Amino acid sequence: MKISVEKSSCIIFSKSSTLPKLKLKFFNKNLPNSKSIKFLGVTFDERLNFINQVSEIKQKCQSRLNIIKILSNKKWGLSKTSLSSIFKSFIGSVIDYSFPCLNVYSEKTPSYPKLCYT
C-alpha cells in the first residue's frame, strides 16, 4: 500500500477557539493543515459540528427536490405513490446515509444552514 502525500492533510479537532498549527512531515514533504477533511464521503471540520457536511446534504437534496417538482407537474401524470417512491429513493437515501452527522447537529450550532424545504 502506498500513501499519497499530495492527497493527505492534517486536522486538529478541538472546541478551543485558537488551534495550534502543526508542522508534520511525511516522506520529507510538509502536510498542510486543513479546517475540514472529507473522509469516506463525510466532511469533518475542526469543531466536529458538521456545518459543511449539512450544507452539502442540503444542496444535494435541493437539486434532487427540483427534479421531483418537475415530475410532479400534471403533464407527467404521476400518482402520489409514484412521487412518494421517487422522493424516498432520491432524498431519503441521502438523509439515511448522512444520519449519524445529522444526529449531533442542532439549531444551537453557530451559523447552521436551515434544513427546511420550500
pLDDT digit string, tens, across residues 55-97: 888 888 888 888 888 888 877 778 888 888 888 888 888 877 7
CB-CB contact of 42 with 94 (8 Å): no
Domain chopping of the chain, boundaries: 1-34, 49-104
State the average pLDDT over residues 41-66.
84
pTM above 0.85, yes or no: no
Neighbouring residues of 72: CB distance < 8 A, sequence distance ≥ 6:
78, 83
What pLDDT score does 108 carry? 54
CB-CB contact of 62 with 30 (8 Å): no
pLDDT digit string, tens, across residues 2-35: 878 888 888 888 887 777 777 888 888 888 888 8
What is the tally of helices (H) and strands (E) in the chain? 4, 4
pLDDT digit string, tens, across residues 95-109: 777 766 666 655 555
What pLDDT score does 31 carry? 84
Q: Is 7 exposed, middle or buried (0-12, 13-18, 19+ CB in 10 A)?
A: exposed
pLDDT greater than 70 at residue 117: no
pLDDT greater than 60 at residue 111: no
